[in-house]
Amino acid sequence: MYRCPHCGGLLDVAHDTDALRDRSAAAWMRLFDERYRVTTWPYGSGVWGKREWVMPGVDDDTVVSMYEGGTNLFWAERYGQGLGLRDCWVKLCGNSHSGSFKDLGMTVLVSVVRQAIREGLKVKAIACASTGDTSAALAAYGAAAGLPVVVLLPRGKISTAQLVQPLAHGALVLGLDTDFDGCMKIVQRLAEEGTVYLANSMNPLRIEGQKTVAVEIVQQLDWQVPDWIVLPSGNLGNAYALYSGLELMRELGVIDRYPRLAIAQAENANPLYRAVSQGRREVEPIVAQATVATAIQIGDPVSAPRAFRALDELNGVVEQASEQELCDAAARADRTGMYTCPHTAVGLAVLEKLVARGTIQPSDRVVCVSTASGLKFTEFKVGYHEGSVPGVDASGRNPPVMLPADYGQVVDAIQARFA
């Protein structure tokens, strides 16, 4: 069951917070610090190290984990300086098993499915619609558990690396002549008719794992709350997951205030931005236009109602970034040692705009969530440095200098660059 039978709304996992209050806030923090990245199964995982807050009922030998989470909170010192920010951080969620934050939710979902199968549930296959990263994560975790996986992908709208990942893991890969929203409609119907078990983030099990990113950010800042969290978003499940983690921490006294949330959308796929800037409480589905930020090219976000709640509670804002703005931000960040995926670049471009506008102050502590590894998006990087991204002036491009194997010409090239 994925929706409320009465109102059709999405379901939430409810935790017994009274029972969780048996442990004090200080004791929770100590416990999570003790478990952080240990080798004792399964606690070294950023998700299962917090299992009591996530999914307490799964047995150790049923957990399907690849030590997801525990990713670097990168101090973006030089990048932040460029914006006039002293306290700027990037949470590198892409430094994970399959290269994106989707691992955080998938470990929970696949573990619960494995437990249910052991208890007698019949599942032909676990399935998802994907813009590339959900399918990569599902295929990896499914393969680790020995469970069959089907992925529905919009043909030609994901990176080569993302397409190869589920192929390598043996999933049934269906490339459909549509966009993500079209794939989503078909997979929802497959799930409703009982053909497959649904692994998209409308399934609240994913949210439970993904919410640990909020806990981990606060933990890595020595249990201090940042002033802002910037999050590139598409289907909007992760925005709600972030809020959900913050809410639980606040209920249990681990934090006593919330950060503000900035949801970052690509201008070419901006249904939430449109709704909020027109003062609407509902997202009107659009056909998302092409963007290099392919993982958030979504026009009809399933978790939109959840995102409004996150925005209300976290005094949030929604901002958008054009293709030019996101490419510029990626180039700037990469020049300071990051290797940004285009979605992270949407987050950084939005951060830059909010700083320029004074919404984010120079003294604010800001965390931008990096959702995937730049290494999955080689086409984007090559396109930028070749100057071939449509409609984008690649002023920061750095093409290779091709030379014969001639000592003098090599010296000349060095002199020309660093004279």
CA–CA separation, 299 and 284 (whole Å) = 9
Q: Which is nearer to ligand PLP, 237 or 299 (CB)?
A: 237
* Ranges assigned E (strand) in 294-394: 317-321, 365-370
* The binder of ligand PLP chosen from 35, 50, 102, 306 (CB under 6 A): 102
Q: How far is the CB of 153 from ligand PLP (least distance, A)?
A: 13
CA–CA separation, 270 and 234 (whole Å) = 8
Q: Which span sits near ligand PLP by CB under 6 A: 22-30, 42-50, 236-244, 278-286? A: 236-244
Q: Which span sits near ligand PLP by CB under 6 A: 151-159, 190-198, 231-239, 321-329? A: 231-239
* The binder of ligand PLP chosen from 96, 107, 115, 201 (CB under 6 A): 201
* The binder of ligand PLP chosen from 46, 209, 237, 259 (CB under 6 A): 237
Structure tokens at 9: 């709304």
Report residue 105 CA to chain centroid gap.
Answer: 10
Size of the site for ligand PLP (CB under 6 A): 17
What are the respective helix, strand and coil percentages of the chain, to the nearest 5? Answer: 45, 15, 40
Q: Which is nearer to ligand PLP, 191 or 213 (CB)?
A: 213
Q: Which is nearer to ligand PLP, 45 or 134 (CB)?
A: 134
Nearest to 180 by CA among 160, 200, 166: 200
For the sheet with 172-176, list strands across it: 172-176, 149-154, 126-129, 197-198
**Quick one: residue 250, left, alpha or beta (phi over 0 = left, psi -120 to 50 = alpha)?**
alpha
Q: Does 320 bind ligand PLP (CB under 6 A)?
A: no
Q: Which is nearer to ligand PLP, 29 or 262 (CB)?
A: 262
CA–CA separation, 189 and 404 (whole Å) = 58
Q: Which is nearer to ligand PLP, 217 or 236 (CB)?
A: 236
Question: Site mask, ligand PLP, residues 241-270, x = CB under 6 A?
Answer: ------------------------------
* The binder of ligand PLP chosen from 91, 114, 157, 343 (CB under 6 A): 343
Q: How far is the CB of 379 from ligand PLP (least distance, A)?
A: 14
* The binder of ligand PLP chosen from 295, 345, 348, 360 (CB under 6 A): 295
Contacts for 415 with CB less than 8 Å, ≥ 6 apart: none
Question: What backbone phi and psi angles, to 5 degrees, belong to 197?
Answer: -100, 130
Positions that interact with ligand PLP (CB under 6 A): 100, 102, 133, 201, 232-238, 295-296, 341, 343, 371-372
